[in-house]
C-alpha cells in the first residue's frame, strides 16, 4: 500500500535537528509509503547537512535560523501544512513510515487524533519506561480517560482541530503531552494504535531528568488549566486531613485548638476556593468554543 485511499489531503510533518544521517535512510522509505502526500521537514537550526539531504529528496523544508525546540518545530510545520490531516513523526528515524496507513485507517473510524502507542520493548531504557508509565497514570487520572502513551511523537490528527491548540504547545519536547490532554478536555476523540519503534542513529536530544520534570510540569499545567479541581481538590483534602488530625491530637493531649490546626484548615478552604474559581474561569473560557 503506497498511499491511503481517503478523500482528504495529507501532510507529513517531521521536526529535525541535526538528523542528516537518519533522514538519508528515512525519507526514501517515507516517500514510498506516502508518495502523494505533502512532506514537510522543519529544520530546527541544524548545523549538519539536514537541509541538503531534504533538498535531495525533494521534500518541503522550513528552516529555523536557530534551534527553537521540538515543539516550536511542530508548530511551524503545522502552520505550513496544507493537508486536512497531519501525521507527525520524529526525525530520528525511530518511527516506521509503514505504520502510517494503519494510523490513518484508525483515524477514519471517527477519531480526531490517533497516537502510536509504544510497547515496553520500544522504550529507550527501563528508567524511561517507568517514567512514561507514571506520566500515563497521572494524565489518565487528570483527564478521566485511559492514556496509553502520553509522550509519543508519532500521531495523526485532524489539522483544523490540532491547530486550535497551537498557542498552548510548549517549544520543548512536551508538545505530545499538551496536545493529548487538550484534545481530551475539548471533548475530541483520541485513539491509540500499538507500534514498535526502531533504533535511532546517534544520541537522543531528550534529557531524561530535565525533560522528565518538564513533562510532569506540563501535565499539572494542563490539568490546572482544563480541570483545576482535579488538582486543587486533593491538595485541599490533604490540608484538611492534616488539620483535622492535628486538632484531634492537640485536643486529646493538650485540650486546646492550636494555631497550626487553624492554619491547615484555613489553607484547605483557600485552596478549595481557588480551585472552584479556576473551574468557573475554565468553563467561561470554553463557553464560546463549545457553542461553535
pLDDT in tens, 152-208: 889 999 999 999 889 888 887 778 888 888 888 888 999 999 998 876 655 555 565
Place of cell 519506561: 129
Residue 248 CA to residue 187 CA, distance in Å, equals: 44
pLDDT at residue 178, rounded to an integer: 83
Query: Phi, psi at residue 228, to the nearest 5°?
Result: -60, -40
- Going by their DSSP bridges, the two strands 190-195 and 85-88 should be labelled as unpaired
Say which residues have a Cβ less than 8 Å from residue 216's Cβ, sequence separation at least 6: 135, 138
SS3 82: coil
C-alpha separations of 1 from 35, 57, 145, 174 in Å: 11, 20, 33, 32
Identify whether the C-beta of residue 152 lies closer than 8 Å to the C-beta of residue 129. no
Considering only the top CATH level, what class is 10-225? alpha beta
Residue 169 CA to residue 176 CA, distance in Å, equals: 9
Reported as a single tens digit per residue, the pLDDT across 94-108 is 899 999 999 999 999
Reported as a single tens digit per residue, the pLDDT across 106-144 is 999 999 999 999 876 655 555 667 777 777 888 888 788
Q: When comparing pLDDT for 212 and 67, which is higher?
A: 67
% helix, strand, coil for the chain, step of 5 = 55, 15, 30
Average pLDDT, whole number, for the chain?
85
Residue 292 CA to residue 234 CA, distance in Å, equals: 33
225: pLDDT confidence band, cut at 50, 70 and 90?
A: low
Residue 245 CA to residue 267 CA, distance in Å, equals: 14
C-alpha cell at 288: 464560546
Would you say residue 145 has pLDDT above 80?
A: yes
Q: Burial code of 189-221, b = ≥16 C-beta within 10 A, e = fewer?
A: bbbbbebebeebeeeebbeeeebbebbbebbeb
Would you say residue 5 has pLDDT above 60?
A: no
Amino acid at each position: 500500500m503506497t498511499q491511503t485511499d481517503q478523500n482528504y489531503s495529507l501532510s507529513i510533518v517531521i521536526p529535525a535537528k541535526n538528523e542528516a544521517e537518519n533522514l538519508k535512510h528515512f525519507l526514501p522509505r517515507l516517500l514510498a509509503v506516502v508518495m502523494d502526500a505533502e512532506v514537510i521537514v522543519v529544520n530546527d537550526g541544524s548545523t549538519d547537512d539536514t537541509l541538503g539531504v531534504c533538498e535531495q529528496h525533494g521534500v518541503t523544508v522550513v528552516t529555523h535560523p536557530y534551534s527553537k525546540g521540538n515543539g516550536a518545530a511542530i508548530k511551524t510545520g503545522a502552520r505550513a501544512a496544507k493537508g486536512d490531516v497531519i501525521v507527525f513523526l520524529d526525525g530520528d528515524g525511530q518511527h516506521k513510515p509503514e505504520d502510517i496507513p494503519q494510523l490513518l485507517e484508525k483515524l477514519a473510524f471517527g477519531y480526531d487524533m490517533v497516537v502510536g502507542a509504544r510497547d515496553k520493548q520500544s522504550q529507550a531504557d527501563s528508567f524511561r519506561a517507568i517514567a512514561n508509565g507514571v506520566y500515563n497514570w497521572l494524565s489518565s487520572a487528570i483527564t478521566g480517560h485511559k492514556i496509553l502513551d502520553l509522550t509519543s511523537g508519532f500521531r495523526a490528527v485532524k489539522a483544523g482541530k490540532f491547530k486550535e491548540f497551537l498557542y498552548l504547545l510548549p517549544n520543548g519536547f512536551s508538545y505530545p503531552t499538551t496536545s493529548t490532554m487538550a484534545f481530551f478536555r475539548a471533548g475530541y476523540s483520541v485513539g491509540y494504535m500499538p507500534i514498535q519503534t526502531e533504533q535511532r542513529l546517534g544520541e537522543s536530544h531528550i534529557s531524561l531528568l530535565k525533560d522528565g520534570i518538564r513533562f510532569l510540569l506540563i501535565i499539572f499545567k494542563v490539568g490546572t488549566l482544563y480541570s483545576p479541581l482535579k488538582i486543587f481538590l486533593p491538595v485541599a483534602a490533604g490540608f484538611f486531613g492534616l488539620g483535622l488530625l492535628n486538632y484531634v491530637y492537640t485536643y486529646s493531649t493538650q485540650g486546646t485548638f492550636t494555631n497550626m490546626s487553624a492554619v491547615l484548615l484555613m489553607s484547605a478552604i483557600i485552596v478549595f476556593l481557588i480551585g472552584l474559581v479556576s473551574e468557573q474561569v475554565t468553563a467561561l473560557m470554553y463557553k464560546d468554543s463549545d457553542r461553535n
